Amino acid sequence: RALVAVKLFHRFLLHEGILQEDVTSVLESPKLWKHLPSFLTLEEVERMLSQPNPRKTIGIRDRAILELLYATGMRVSELVSLKNEDLNLDSGFLKCTGKGGKERIIPLGRKAKEAIEHYREKVSRLGIKRDELFVSFHRSAWLTAEDTPSKLGVSEAVPVRGFRPRAGGGDAKQSRPLTRQAVWQMIRKYARETRIRKHITPHTFRHSFATHLLERGADLRVVQELLGHADISTTQIYTHVTRDRLKSVHARFHPRA
């Protein structure tokens, strides 16, 4: 689109006599190609959701993250920006701030709500109080009656330079906001453990969310609003995925396909 706009502008300048020749004539337009988003099957989603260890604090957090990504279709940047005040678990909705600061309201679903409640309860027991919903734990957060390094997950706990451990709970200094990179790494780790032969990223959950909704008859406009797409044509790419799926099912099961 940008290249077309530049070419049209130069043609206008040429027509008006401002330019003597069209310098964009040597530029080649990119070839059009269709890239269908990769998504997980329901069975693959379940395999991913079952990977976090429910006996570890980080596993409880990771399960809440995965449930939320699949339940809402939100972008990873939106997820790590979530504040506790953005959630209303009583009503089952959350407020999400997307691209351009545009806000939207998304339903949570029962499974995601339960996972978040469990995670919040665990964080509360650790004594960690932050505005951010999802946090990364420091080594000092081990020092509670309930949690040990093995329960928290040694691989992520980060020592703080100059920190002197003291028992009796944590505070905001013992944790930090979770980053997009940490979520990417976490999902890659679980994807390897499932041995699913797909390139799985946080955005794969977004693709799966949209595809599964449309496969079950959800209205395209509703899916557009849930995803926060400004243009419905962006959402329409998922209809190509579902049509391909329908064709595949038809070819497999129809006696005269």
* Residue positions annotated with a catalytic role: 75, 99, 203, 206, 229, 238
Distance of alpha carbon 239 from alpha carbon 229, whole angstroms: 14
Angstrom CA distances, 178 to 43, 156, 172, stand at 28, 11, 13
The dihedral built from the CA positions of residue 191, 193, 194 and 197, taken in this order, carries a sign that is positive
Distance of alpha carbon 236 from alpha carbon 66, whole angstroms: 25
Pairing of strands 135-137, 175-177: antiparallel
Distance of alpha carbon 229 from alpha carbon 51, whole angstroms: 30
- Find the largest Cα–Cα distance for the chain: 80
Distance of alpha carbon 87 from alpha carbon 116, whole angstroms: 10
Question: What are the beta bridge partners of residue 49?
Answer: none
